[in-house]
Chains A and B, each alone.
Chain A
Amino acid sequence: MTMMLTRRHLLLAACAPLGLRPAWAQAAWAAIESAARGQTVYFNAWGGSERINAYIRWAGSELRRLHGVALEHVKLADTAEMVRRVRAEKAAGRSDGSADLVWINGENFLAMKREGLLFGPFAEALPNYRYVDIDGKPTTRIDFAEPVDGMEAAWGMAQLTFYVDAARAPLPQPTGVAGLLDWCRAQPGRFSYPKPPQFIGTTFLKQVLAELGGDRAALARPYTAEAFARLTPPLWTALDRLHPHLWRGGLQFPASPGALRQMVSDGELAMGLTFNPNEAANEIAAQTLPPTVTSFQPRAGSIGNTHFVAIPFNARASAGAQVAANFLQSPLAQARKADIRHWGDPTVLALDKLGPADRALFSASAGAPGMVREPAPVWPEPHGSWVEPLEAEWLRRYG
């Protein structure tokens, strides 16, 4: 079965760029759709945002209407809960698992893929895969330097983005790391970043490294001590100069991006950072950030990645999960997700691959307060093996 699927997906991968869908692929999908009808899909997804929860409720109602699939949102506080649950199910030899579809990326994906906890490959056989921007957004096929291999379906895009309260810190906004130092000198104590190994904090280190290290190609290759010694000195020099001008003199750091955002909202900080380019706009709409906040990305580019949905190896409703994953990738669902009024999560689709009617769906979202005005290029994540040496060295120096 696995073998067959692999061959099929290779063939599909070959055909997809040509916009061809062989008749047997259509028949196979029709079989999946009919198997999915009447199934209940337990979608294990982080539940910390009411806007995202509401979006998932909408997707559920559409799935029921269009495909007869019931989508149940299992709200997680952290994706690690689900990984451990599925791992325990595998250890207990259970083939009828508790999760059908999961929201995932990065380390959690790597762990599940390596441990054989995932179903698939399925992602490149989804009918809507042909719209995914695999050329313009290479992170839809490489998740933190780990090849996706069709084991998860791209759902949305993330990119390191700064937000600043213009009422507290007059313009101009920094355009890069050098500008950041000047900004912090002028506004001492009004910026900080979450403490690595918190994810956003580590991404900030990667951003400074990618901007100053000079050799982004070397970062894409696995870590070596030699490359680390060659590329990281500018990072530490920059942090040595930056830290005295940070919140609490760079001796203490906030625990989480949530705490950081609260401090910007309360006025203790004037600038924060996030992985969702539309977070500030979202939070302004939700009245948790003042309307004077604006977002910007480092001019040269900033670290970005993709988040996905995957299917555990023991999903009871794997057909329903595939139908759901395909729906989440559809122009209709992606356009609503990109719309700042609903969620504001950038699409994984290539708009030029869509027909005019579908493309028109995406024009609704423009110009909400707090949005990024000049989007910068996306830089892919450094190879995953860089994370631990970076974090360990940061902790040794500043922890």
Chain B
Amino acid sequence: MAQAHVLSAGVRGGQALARVAAGLLFALPLAAAVPLALHEAADAGAWRALASDPQTLPAAWLALSSAVLGTAIAAALALWLTTALHGSPAWQRLSAALAPMLALPHAAFAIGLAWLVAPTGAIARALAALLGWQAPPPWQSVNDPWALGLTAVLVFKELPFILWNMAALLARPEVAADIERQVAVARTMGYDRRSWWWRVGWPQWSPRLAWPLLAVLAYALTVVDLGLIIGPGSPPTLAVLAYADLQAGSPARNARGAAATVLLALLLACTVAAVAVAWRVGAAAWRRAATRGRRPAPARHGSAGAGWAAPALQVVYALVGVTLLVLSVAGVWTFPAAWPQSLTLEAWRQVHAAADSVGFTAALAASASLAALVLTVAWLEATPPRWDRRASVLVLAPLVLPPLLLMAGLYQGALYLRLDGSWLGLAWVHTLVVLPYSFITLQPAWRSFDPRYEPVALALGRRRWAFWWRVKWPLLAAPLAASAAVGFAVSVAQFLATQFLGAGRHATVTTEAVTLASGGQRTLAAAFALLQALLPLAGFAAAAWVRRRTMHR
């Protein structure tokens, strides 16, 4: 009894320490940086300028429609694929193929896909060869005014991310065994596997995807580089407008850009609120429909379609990859030539020159993702689940705020602390940016962990650390590795965080890639995509290996 008292005091102390650490290292700097970043928006003139700009409304609509549609389609596809394929070898194949899809940078995927469908792209050239076209057709297949191209890229890039989270969630040994048991019980009652998913599986598991889906929505609403590459031009999405204003030299335009940023954050909040209401209403209807007792005939077609859709996704990525390889060596390549008029290795020469930064980039990303993981685990262990929602504004802030504003705010804080230009400051700010992603990818698994394991272990006379070390963490190894891999990739991709906190003194593969890409050369962008994909690919592949090991133990 006395021992239990000491133990729980120790645990309480540990919890307090973890809360203080999360507060000091994460919440406080962000709480200080967000007002610094957004103070420009506190200007009535900026809001008037935003309201009187004829582009604002259509741009906001384009941002909202592409983000909501892209997220919804990707989520629906992910549910459909999981329902049809989970528990089959096809699911194993699909989850193994996710790593390279996730590692390919968004912008590179957009460049590759755009080239396939553009009026001067692969499809048009093939048609030109057949039909004898000399001039490119007047297609609006890229930069279309309805943002359909942007929506398509979002679907293709976010589907693997959602599946990745799903795979990590469902790959835990105790969950996988549980699912198989429940499916077996459902079968004895006359429901097939698919019926079990829609009646029992998804009502349990889909709320767990709320955080990853929120991150996808926030990303889609605020993404700039995709909008510039494949999004509409006149008007562009609101995020692109805000970005252009923030880059401008005039303070009035800077202020309007900051106001547009706040508007984007409000749009996100409204969308989330609307989805939450719809979920309440929809969930009740779903439950009624699911418990009516109807037993639909086992479906064959749905599953066959999914068996076909998963390889199709891989084919699209493979085509984009090959396209990028060809573009990276293509000099001039005018329509309707089937092969470039000149080939050049210049872009690869520059990739080679920048490859020195790979080691530094990896070390920085490894420290940041590890630190973020430790902080996330500390938070999840030290706080009750209802605290997650309280932290949501701070968790989402780094996802929603334009890096140019957020980093200027954080840099100012780092200047006071004299952390600027130092390795420590750089690692800290990377941790700060990575942490929301660690949280988003780890929270679903951690919070759905069966709480009964702990009292059982303690009752068997195990100490709490032994329970963590020997029971909980091994069971959560797959989500931990998946979360670390996402954090690692996020750190590798940071540009402005590295530029500001490193005061421009530390080069990473991404700072090299982004600065060179600002010249708008497609060969460089295509070649650097491979260098940028290299490190995240290693991270995702390692996480996939951990997932397979835990599955087969």
Taking the nearest CB of chain B, how far is it from the CB of A75, in angstroms?
A: 4
Q: Is the C-beta of A99 less than 8 angstroms from some C-beta in chain B?
A: yes
Enumerate chain A residues within 8 angstroms of B55, measured Cβ to Cβ: 395, 399
Q: Is the C-beta of B500 less than 8 angstroms from some C-beta in chain A?
A: yes
Q: How far is the CA of A44 from the CA of B346 in the complex (A)?
A: 24
Enumerate chain A residues within 8 angstroms of B332, measured Cβ to Cβ: 265, 287-291
- Looking at the complex, which one of B119, B334, B521 makes contact with A258 (CB distance below 8 Å)? B521
Decide: A98 near B421, CB < 8 A? Known: A74-B504, A74-B505, A258-B519.
yes
Chain B residues 505 to 553 lying within 8 A of chain A, measured CB to CB, are 505, 507, 511-512, 514-524
Contact A47 B515 (CB under 8 A): yes
Enumerate chain A residues within 8 angstroms of B232, measured Cβ to Cβ: 252
Contact B412 A88 (CB under 8 A): yes
Q: Is the C-beta of A215 less than 8 angstroms from some C-beta in chain B?
A: no
Q: Binary interface profile of A, 22-56, with partner B (CB < 8 Å = 1, else 0)?
A: 00000000000000000000101011111000000
Enumerate chain B residues within 8 angstroms of A286, measured Cβ to Cβ: 346, 521
Taking the nearest CB of chain A, how far is it from the CB of B440, in angstroms?
A: 27
Enumerate chain A residues within 8 angstroms of B335, measured Cβ to Cβ: 266-268
Q: Binary interface profile of B, 410-422, with partner A (CB < 8 Å = 1, else 0)?
A: 0110011000110
Q: How far is the CA of A255 from the CA of B226 in the complex (A)?
A: 12
Please count the residue pairs between chain A and chain B whose beta carbons lie under 8 angstroms apart in the complex: 176
Q: Is the C-beta of B374 less than 8 angstroms from some C-beta in chain A?
A: no
- Looking at the complex, which one of B252, B408, B517 makes contact with A88 (CB distance below 8 Å)? B408
Taking the nearest CB of chain A, how far is it from the CB of B82, in angstroms?
A: 37
Contact A111 B246 (CB under 8 A): no
Chain B residues 49 to 70 lying within 8 A of chain A, measured CB to CB, are 53-55
Q: How far is the CA of A74 from the CA of B498 in the complex (A)?
A: 12
Give the contact stretch, choosing among A77-85, A324-332, A346-354.
Answer: A77-85
Decide: A80 near B520, CB < 8 A? Known: A75-B515, A99-B504, A189-B138.
no
Q: How far is the CA of A94 from the CA of B503 in the complex (A)?
A: 13
Contact A258 B234 (CB under 8 A): no
Q: Binary interface profile of B, 29-73, with partner A (CB < 8 Å = 1, else 0)?
A: 000000000000000000000000111000000000000000000
Q: Is the C-beta of B331 less than 8 angstroms from some C-beta in chain A?
A: yes
Contact B346 A48 (CB under 8 A): no
Give the contact stretch, choosing among A102-110, A122-130, A149-157, A363-371.
Answer: A102-110
Q: Is the C-beta of B206 less than 8 angstroms from some C-beta in chain A?
A: no
Contact B249 A255 (CB under 8 A): no
- Looking at the complex, which one of A46, A98, A291 makes contact with B503 (CB distance below 8 Å)? A98
Total count of chain A residues near the partner, CB < 8 A: 68
Contact B233 A48 (CB under 8 A): no
Q: How far is the CA of A259 from the CA of B517 in the complex (A)?
A: 12
- Which of B53, B247, B341, B505 is packed against the most chain A CB atoms within 10 Å? B247
Enumerate chain A residues within 8 angstroms of B248, measured Cβ to Cβ: 80, 107, 197
Q: Is the C-beta of B88 less than 8 angstroms from some C-beta in chain A?
A: no
Q: Is the C-beta of A7 less than 8 angstroms from some C-beta in chain B?
A: no
- Which of B120, B235, B415 is packed against the most chain A CB atoms within 10 Å? B415
Q: How far is the CA of A288 from the CA of B522 in the complex (A)?
A: 9
Decide: A268 near B120, CB < 8 A? Known: A75-B511, A92-B416.
yes
Decide: A85 near B500, CB < 8 A? Known: A80-B248, A251-B145, A259-B520.
yes
Decide: A85 near B244, CB < 8 A? Known: A252-B145, A254-B233.
no
Taking the nearest CB of chain A, how far is it from the CB of B49, in angstroms?
A: 9
Q: Is the C-beta of A396 less than 8 angstroms from some C-beta in chain B?
A: yes
Q: How far is the CA of A263 from the CA of B115 in the complex (A)?
A: 11
- Looking at the complex, which one of B250, B334, B404 makes contact with A81 (CB distance below 8 Å)? B404
Q: Is the C-beta of A91 less than 8 angstroms from some C-beta in chain B?
A: yes
Enumerate chain B residues within 8 angstroms of A266, measured Cβ to Cβ: 118, 120, 136, 333-335
Taking the nearest CB of chain A, how far is it from the CB of B139, in angstroms?
A: 10
Enumerate chain B residues within 8 angstroms of A42, measured Cβ to Cβ: 503-505
Contact A80 B246 (CB under 8 A): yes
Q: How far is the CA of A258 from the CA of B244 in the complex (A)?
A: 15
Enumerate chain B residues within 8 angstroms of A62, measured Cβ to Cβ: none
Q: Is the C-beta of B302 less than 8 angstroms from some C-beta in chain A?
A: no
- Looking at the complex, which one of B235, B249, B344, B520 makes contact with A83 (CB distance below 8 Å)? B249
Q: Binary interface profile of B, 116-159, with partner A (CB < 8 Å = 1, else 0)?
A: 00111000000000000001101010010100000000000000
Decide: A108 near B516, CB < 8 A? Known: A92-B415, A265-B334, A268-B136.
no
Taking the nearest CB of chain A, how far is it from the CB of B81, in angstroms?
A: 34
Decide: A288 near B504, CB < 8 A? Known: A88-B411, A388-B252.
no
Contact A111 B249 (CB under 8 A): yes
Q: Is the C-beta of B342 less than 8 angstroms from some C-beta in chain A?
A: yes
Q: How far is the CA of A258 from the CA of B228 in the complex (A)?
A: 11
Taking the nearest CB of chain B, how far is it from the CB of A45, in angstroms?
A: 10
- Looking at the complex, which one of A74, A198, A290 makes contact with B341 (CB distance below 8 Å)? A290
Enumerate chain A residues within 8 angstroms of B305, measured Cβ to Cβ: none
Chain A residues 148 to 189 lying within 8 A of chain B, measured CB to CB, are 165, 167, 189
Q: Is the C-beta of A195 less than 8 angstroms from some C-beta in chain B?
A: yes
Enumerate chain A residues within 8 angstroms of B500, measured Cβ to Cβ: 81, 85
Decide: A267 near B136, CB < 8 A? Known: A92-B416, A106-B249, A399-B234.
yes
- Looking at the complex, which one of B53, B244, B504, B514 makes contact with A44 (CB distance below 8 Å)? B504
In the complex formed, the residue of B with least CB distance to A165 is: B334
Enumerate chain B residues within 8 angstroms of A289, measured Cβ to Cβ: 332
Q: Is the C-beta of B282 less than 8 angstroms from some C-beta in chain A?
A: no
Enumerate chain B residues within 8 angstroms of A261, measured Cβ to Cβ: 520
Q: Is the C-beta of B350 less than 8 angstroms from some C-beta in chain A?
A: yes
Q: Is the C-beta of B112 less than 8 angstroms from some C-beta in chain A?
A: no
Decide: A48 near B249, CB < 8 A? Known: A87-B408, A88-B415, A288-B332.
no
Contact A287 B344 (CB under 8 A): yes
Q: Is the C-beta of A257 less than 8 angstroms from some C-beta in chain B?
A: yes
In the complex formed, the residue of A with least CB distance to B410 is: A88
Contact B247 A78 (CB under 8 A): yes
Q: How far is the CA of A92 from the CA of B33 in the complex (A)?
A: 13
Q: Is the C-beta of B107 less than 8 angstroms from some C-beta in chain A?
A: no
Contact B250 A48 (CB under 8 A): no
Enumerate chain A residues within 8 angstroms of B220, measured Cβ to Cβ: none
Enumerate chain B residues within 8 angstroms of A230, measured Cβ to Cβ: none
Enumerate chain A residues within 8 angstroms of B524, measured Cβ to Cβ: 50
Taking the nearest CB of chain B, how far is it from the CB of A169, in angstroms?
A: 11
Contact A256 B250 (CB under 8 A): no
Q: Is the C-beta of A299 less than 8 angstroms from some C-beta in chain B?
A: no
Taking the nearest CB of chain B, how far is it from the CB of A199, in angstroms?
A: 9
Q: How far is the CA of A248 from the CA of B519 in the complex (A)?
A: 24
Q: Is the C-beta of B87 less than 8 angstroms from some C-beta in chain A?
A: no
Of all A-B residue pairs in the complex, the 6 with the closest CB atoms, nearest first, are A258-B520, A107-B249, A48-B519, A287-B331, A74-B504, A98-B503
A266-B136, A268-B118 known; 17 new pairs, CB 8 Å cut-off, are A47-B516, A48-B517, A49-B519, A75-B511, A84-B408, A98-B421, A165-B334, A252-B145, A255-B228, A262-B522, A266-B120, A268-B136, A287-B342, A290-B332, A388-B252, A395-B53, A399-B54
